[in-house]
Amino acid sequence: MKKILKYFLFLLIIIISISLPLFSFSFDISTILTAVALLFSILLGFFIAAATSNYLKLQTNISQEDSCLIYIFGLVKIIQPQAEEKIAKAIDEYMIAALDYEYLEYITYTSTEFNALLSVIDDVCTTAGANQPLIQNLQGAKEKLLSYRMEDLLASQKVVTKNHWLILGTLSAIISVMLLSLRTEEIFSSVLIGIIVITICQILLLLRDIDANIFLADKIGYGAEPQSVFRAIGKDDYYPEIALKFIGKKNLSKKYRVGEYINYPASFEKTIKLRGEKI
């Protein structure tokens, strides 16, 4: 639906560019257009660079967090085999909770599950007895996990505020109006300027997607990264119900779990159902 609206907006821009009566300003706009375009480019470049830096940092941290969870599971299996099911359950519940939320907010809303996971790790460390070097490794992995979470919390903050969007929107509107005043009676010039305006809109949409980590949700959240954790702990793959529309059937496992929300988005209460091949 969003894609249809976006394409409709782009088509509307082309139509407006062609059908809008020709107009011009009584003053020379070339200098003003150059100055505004330069300012817009500088601000846009700064925000894209900052947002991309956060995006890459968050992407790296999430991959490291997933690897750390697998490592913790392996250590617990060696240190205290009888706690294998307990740690697997704690990791599973934490990962399921994390996938229910966007990457900009999952840290905030998964504190309960994360604390439960830490509690299991602490229990293993205090009751294991021998295997002191392995316990130290487990405690080190726990500290890394905490560190990744804190870094994620910082990296997931949006760079572009409402005031920034207002400035960028104002500058892009000024540029668009000035460009429209440069049209001639030739249709090609109107189409060309319409395409330039569409490009400006696309760049702003790109900035929004990077800043909101939309790319990250599609690439990691609904991809193979979290599923590798589920498989490592002996659980079936899990997807929130809303994720299925982003994933082709060929990318799904033969057997997987789906979180079906009871009253989404008002509530994240759900039932988890097994789909795919029957056991």
Tens digits of per-residue pLDDT, 142-186? 999 999 888 888 877 788 999 999 999 999 999 999 999 999 888
Same domain (yes/no): 130, 104: yes
Same domain (yes/no): 129, 266: no
> Band of the pLDDT at 274, cuts 50, 70, 90?
confident
Same domain (yes/no): 74, 163: yes
Same domain (yes/no): 93, 73: yes
Query: Given this model, what pLDDT does residue 131 score?
Result: 63
Tens digits of per-residue pLDDT, 9-53? 888 999 999 999 998 888 888 899 999 999 999 999 999 998 888
Same domain (yes/no): 261, 187: no
Q: Flag whether 52 is in a domain.
A: yes
Mean pLDDT across the chain, nearest whole number?
Answer: 85
Q: Flag whether 14 is in a domain.
A: no
Q: Flag whether 31 is in a domain.
A: no
Highest mean pLDDT range out of 3-17, 99-113, 212-226? Answer: 3-17
Q: Flag whether 266 is in a domain.
A: yes
* Least confident segment among 63-77, 119-133, 157-171, 219-233: 219-233
Same domain (yes/no): 182, 136: yes
Domains identified in the chain, total number: 2
Q: Flag whether 8 is in a domain.
A: no
Average pLDDT over residues 222-228: 74
Same domain (yes/no): 176, 273: no
Same domain (yes/no): 226, 259: no
Same domain (yes/no): 168, 250: no
Average pLDDT over residues 72-101: 91
Same domain (yes/no): 209, 260: no
Query: Given this model, what pLDDT does residue 222 score?
Result: 59
Same domain (yes/no): 152, 248: no
Mapping DSSP onto H, E and C, the string for the chain reads CHHHHHHHHHHHHHHHHHHCCCCCCCCCCHHHHHHHHHHHHHHHHHHHHHHHHHHHHHHHHHHHHHHHHHHHHHHHHHHCHHHHHHHHHHHHHHHHHHHCCCCCCHHHHCHHHHHHHHHHHHHHHHHCCCCHHHHHHHHHHHHHHHHHHHHHHHHCCCCCCHHHHHHHHHHHHHHHHHHHCCCCCCHHHHHHHHHHHHHHHHHHHHHHHHHCCHHHHHHHHCCHHHHHHHHHCCCCEEEEHHHHHHCCHHHCCCEEEEEEECCCCCCCCEEEEEEECCC
Q: Flag whether 17 is in a domain.
A: no
**The model's pTM:** 0.76
What is the domain range of residue 67? 37-235
> Band of the pLDDT at 279, cuts 50, 70, 90?
very low
Highest mean pLDDT range out of 101-105, 116-120, 251-255? Answer: 116-120
Q: Flag whether 29 is in a domain.
A: no
Q: Flag whether 205 is in a domain.
A: yes
Same domain (yes/no): 249, 167: no
